[in-house]
Amino acid sequence: MRVDHRFPAYAITRLVTATAVLRLVASDRLDDGVRDLLGGDAPLDDLIADTTGICCPDAVGELVLAPLGMTGSSFSVRPSDAVTGYRLASGGMFEPVGDEVDGLWTTAADLVRFGIGWSSLLPEELVREVLTPQGGRGLGWPLDRAGEIAGSPGRGEAGSVSLVVRRRDRQTHVAMTTRRIPVEPINGQLLRHS
């Protein structure tokens, strides 16, 4: 693999989208009532498009990706520089799997940029609220039981992606695999013990 290979971000796409919505809230383009949508299954794509007047992928690009310098990230169907995932087939051999995911495709470096920098896009008061446990979740961010680690796993047919951020110092860990295996617990342990 190369460092510029792009992975489907799977569920981590929601964190990026939630950050875009919160930027709209912070700029008074959306009211506070939208916060209830961030923990649910509401169609945030439509909300963003209606509010900004441009399609959601372009709006999220302008609100989050560009300000953080996430030049290796985009919302598209499988890009040409995407990794090939593998699954274990019968007989013990690995076979390639193609994931045609609609959503964010990103590099490890860009996910680190997001983990480190997302909070710089929001007022400090809103950042504290985002990372305050609310029924096991922050405002869009899943939190561990102790409320120390925020982040999200993402798994699909072609691999796994994990982004975790330690709340006290915002240290960020990213793991990406070309197999569908859970990497979130490993990332969380690293942050708790470092």
Tens digits of residue pLDDT in 158-189: 778 889 888 888 888 888 887 776 666 666 66
Q: Can you name the residues that pair with 152 across neighbouring β-strands? A: 163
Confidence class of residue 11 from pLDDT cuts 50, 70 and 90? confident
Rounded to two decimals, the pTM is 0.83
Tens digits of residue pLDDT in 121-162: 999 998 888 888 776 566 678 888 777 888 888 877 777 888
